[in-house]
Amino acid sequence: MASSKAAAAAAFGLKDASLIKTQGLIAGRWVDAKNGSTIDVTNPSTMSSLATVPDMGLEETKDAIAAASKAFETWGKTTAKHRHDILMKLFSLMQQHQDDLARIITLENGKPLAEAKGENTYSASFIEWFAEESVRIYGEHIPAANPSIRNVVIKQPVGVVSILTPWNFPSAMITRKLGAALAAGCTAVIKPPAETPFSALALAELASRAGVPEGVINVVTTDKGIQEVGRELCENKDVRKVTFTGSTNVAKLLYRMSASTLKKISLEAGGNAPFIVFSDADIEQAVEGAIACKFRGSGQTCVCANRIYVQSSIYAEFASRLADKVAAFKIGDGLEESTTHGPLIHGRAVEKVTSHVEDAIAKGAQVLVGGKAVPNTNFFKPTVLSDVPADALSSCEETFGPLAALTKFETEDEVIKLANSADVGLAGYFYSRDIGRVWRVAEKLEVGMVGCNTGLISQAAIPFGGVKESGLGREGGHGIAEYMNDKLIVFGGI
């Protein structure tokens, strides 16, 4: 075991090799699956094996929940200042180890190192933000009609939280939830994705170095899917809240499972973001915004532009400028300095992008750049398609890949209708310099978040979340409230 641990650590080439953990974390102990089974985690750039982690199941999940439940008895009673100080220590450790943490993200997710460093900064910002929120959890005094009573509301942590996260942000999607949970006084069981467990395990190690007590954070690594581990995380009576980021289909399943015990739930599900460029926009800014928004994580984020609508009078110029810039991208291994864009996470993702591109072409779209997968790899050439029709697959569902699908429109009313035709509504973007239009369009888009003259909206301080089938609840910002219960105390006889 010692030598395989050493080999795993060597595969990552970190300055601090002890950040690579190849076991799950339950009740403060690094443990294997009880039946010894493992998941082989591969580097999506090279498709070679990085290391293994345990493939845990129901038993380990129950143990992790029991550990979190026990730890809540003490962690839930700590002072906000105590939790603030520990979280700030974790924030500082994440900065101190940023090179190693970014390298782990690049190796398991594939995104280029510079982008991985950006993710680590984003990830750490949630820990800092919620540390600062923890000491500002205020209650309320509510004036009573009866002069002899007083109404007071206090805020209490909900208890054990199940955290289920995706592979596209192996670190930041965890801290957005974990930061809020710990700050509120909750304990957690994290189920990281099977594709990218090492960032979660490294975060748990740093949290322990920062002083987070045993059992407060538990990590169950698994490839068993939703029906076994996910179900327990949603149905176990000792879990009081479920928080998930991922696809709309899985979000619906978890919502149904969590209904059995009426748990508090936050779901950040899929998007299909419209990106609208009006004729009065600054075209260069809009092109830059489209690139940042569409190709972040090689198109694998829930807030990536998915449908790019450009007004007819500037369509040709926008399309040609965008295509020129995308043609200059360099796909490759994220550890190479010259790489601008990494691979997709796995072959299934490549198949989906391929099917969207082929479908759009069959329905009349033209390829301006790219249009093909790189055979026998997880890479898909960054692609720009023009004249993508409204009934193309890429117009109707999230592609989650490096495909910029352009569609021409004539009027504001027409494009608003197109933009709002989706069942989901996470983010939407538009470029315009007409102040009246800016307000009108921002108010009319059926999404939870609007980027106006920017393609990047993500920050720790904002209420992140969607409407329609993009989910429930908001994370970041005032999101700590989702991890607390209001308790009313009425004082009588005054």
Active site residues: 268
- The least CB distance from residue 176 to ligand SIN, in Å, is 7
Residue numbers 9-28 binding ligand SIN by CB under 6 A: none
Residue 112 vs 185, nearer CB to ligand SIN = 112
Residue numbers 233-262 binding ligand SIN by CB under 6 A: 245
The encoded tokens of residue 328 equal 């200059």
Residue 25 vs 460, nearer CB to ligand SIN = 460
User: Are the C-beta atoms of residues 269 and 422 closer than 8 Å to each other?
Assistant: no
Residue nearest to ligand SIN (CB): 458
> What character string, x for contact with ligand SIN (CB under 6 A) and - otherwise, covers 263-282?
-----x--------------
- The least CB distance from residue 164 to ligand SIN, in Å, is 12
Helix (H) or strand (E) holding 61: helix 58-75
Stretches 94-102, 106-114, 195-203, 297-305: which one binds ligand SIN (CB under 6 A)? 297-305
Residue numbers 439-458 binding ligand SIN by CB under 6 A: 458
What is the maximum alpha-carbon separation in the chain? 78
- The least CB distance from residue 405 to ligand SIN, in Å, is 18
- The least CB distance from residue 328 to ligand SIN, in Å, is 24
Q: Is 424 in the site for ligand SIN (CB under 6 A)?
A: no
Please tell me the distance from the alpha carbon of residue 98 to that of residue 102, in angstroms, as a whole number: 6
Please tell me the distance from the alpha carbon of residue 408 to that of residue 314, in angstroms, as a whole number: 9
Q: Is 43 in the site for ligand SIN (CB under 6 A)?
A: no
- The least CB distance from residue 304 to ligand SIN, in Å, is 8
- The least CB distance from residue 475 to ligand SIN, in Å, is 8
Please tell me the distance from the alpha carbon of residue 404 to that of residue 294, in angstroms, as a whole number: 7
Q: Residues in contact with ligand SIN, total (CB under 6 A)? A: 8
Tell me the sheet residues that pair with 231: none
Please tell me the distance from the alpha carbon of residue 98 to that of residue 103, in angstroms, as a whole number: 8
Please tell me the distance from the alpha carbon of residue 466 to that of residue 448, in angstroms, as a whole number: 4
Please tell me the distance from the alpha carbon of residue 286 to that of residue 429, in angstroms, as a whole number: 10
Q: Order of strands, edge to edge, in the sheet holding 140-142?
A: 140-142, 150-157, 484-491
User: Are the C-beta atoms of residues 26 and 67 closer than 8 Å to each other?
Assistant: yes
Residues 125-156 as b or e (16 or more Cβ within 10 Å = b):
bbbbbbbbbbeebeeeeeeeeeeeeeeeeebe
Stretches 1-9, 37-45, 299-307, 413-421: which one binds ligand SIN (CB under 6 A)? 299-307
Q: Which of 181, 251, 286, 302 binds ligand SIN (CB under 6 A)?
A: 302
- The least CB distance from residue 343 to ligand SIN, in Å, is 17
Stretches 6-14, 105-113, 295-303, 366-374: which one binds ligand SIN (CB under 6 A)? 295-303
Q: Is 52 in the site for ligand SIN (CB under 6 A)?
A: no
H helix count then E strand count, the chain: 15, 22
Q: Is 61 in the site for ligand SIN (CB under 6 A)?
A: no
Q: Is 301 in the site for ligand SIN (CB under 6 A)?
A: yes
User: Are the C-beta atoms of residues 39 and 57 closer than 8 Å to each other?
Assistant: no
Stretches 67-75, 200-208, 300-308, 436-444: which one binds ligand SIN (CB under 6 A)? 300-308
Residue 39 vs 302, nearer CB to ligand SIN = 302
For residue 262, give the nearest of 223, 290, 235 by alpha carbon: 235
Please tell me the distance from the alpha carbon of residue 152 to that of residue 140, in angstroms, as a whole number: 6
Residue numbers 458-487 binding ligand SIN by CB under 6 A: 458
Residue numbers 303-322 binding ligand SIN by CB under 6 A: 303
Residue 352 vs 408, nearer CB to ligand SIN = 352
> What character string, x for contact with ligand SIN (CB under 6 A) and - otherwise, covers 142-171?
--------------------------xx--
Please tell me the distance from the alpha carbon of residue 113 to that of residue 105, in angstroms, as a whole number: 8
Alpha-helical runs (H) found in 113-247: 113-134, 172-184, 197-210, 231-235
Please tell me the distance from the alpha carbon of residue 81 to that of residue 87, in angstroms, as a whole number: 10
For residue 449, give the nearest of 486, 485, 475, 413 by alpha carbon: 475
Q: Is 175 in the site for ligand SIN (CB under 6 A)?
A: no
- The least CB distance from residue 169 to ligand SIN, in Å, is 6
Would you tell me which residues interact with ligand SIN (CB under 6 A)? 168-169, 245, 268, 301-303, 458
